[in-house]
């Protein structure tokens, strides 16, 4: 049975709760990712996504001028807009179960934990890459 361990990205990029949005955007751009685990002293405390960042900057609830975006980027931190206590899976979780969870909850990623330690992240992209590889192999047979 295929497990999360076989598909996940190991040692994912992470941020701390006090990381400002500007730095979070920088990590997302440089690493080409859309979601980041938030670690506090090595313990997973949340997930922050590109959507979370966009909602802060482009909030329809809070009217602000574009000039204030710079201040938001430097003053708003991961802790203030992350999803706390995220749903997780383990390396031994069957891959089909993780895929079901991503679909049911409409998540882009799930942190992978072993005990209290973050060991990876499994994303929709990981599943798409696996499926593309499988389809290519089947097409060549």
For residue 12, the model assigns a pLDDT of 95
Please report, rounded to a whole number, the percentage of residues in the chain having pLDDT higher than 70.
Answer: 92
CA distance 104 to 101: 5
User: Which residue bears the tokens 């975006």?
Assistant: 69
How far does CA 89 lie from the centroid of its chain?
13
Q: Where are the domains of the chain?
A: 4-139
CATH superfamily label, 4-139 = CBS-domain (3.10.580.10)
- Whether 56 and 81 have beta carbons less than 8 Å apart is answered as yes
For residue 61, the model assigns a pLDDT of 53
Kindly write down the DSSP assignment for every residue of 47-60, as one continuous string: EEEHHHHHHHHT-S
In order of 41, 76, 77, 86, 134, the CA distances from 105 in angstroms are 27, 26, 25, 11, 25
Q: pLDDT for 7-27, tens place per residue?
A: 999 989 999 999 999 999 999
| Helix H or strand E encompassing 130 | helix 124-139
CA distance 95 to 65: 45
Residues of the chain with pLDDT under 70: 59-69
For residue 140, the model assigns a pLDDT of 82
- Whether 121 and 35 have beta carbons less than 8 Å apart is answered as yes
């Amino acid at each position: 049975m295929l497990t999360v361990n076989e598909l996940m990205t190991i040692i994912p990029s992470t941020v701390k709760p006090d990381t400002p949005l500007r730095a979070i955007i920088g990590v997302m751009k440089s690493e080409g990712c859309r979601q980041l685990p938030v670690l506090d002293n090595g313990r997973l405390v949340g997930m922050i996504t590109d959507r979370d960042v966009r909602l802060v900057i482009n909030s329809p609830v809070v009217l602000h001028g574009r000039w204030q975006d710079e201040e938001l980027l430097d003053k708003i931190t991961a802790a203030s807009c992350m999803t706390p206590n995220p749903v997780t899976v383990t390396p031994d979780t069957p891959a089909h179960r993780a895929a079901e969870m991503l679909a049911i909850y409409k998540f882009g990623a799930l942190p992978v934990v072993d005990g209290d330690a973050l060991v990876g992240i499994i994303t929709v992209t990981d599943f798409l890459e696996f499926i593309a590889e499988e389809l290519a192999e089947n097409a060549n047979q």
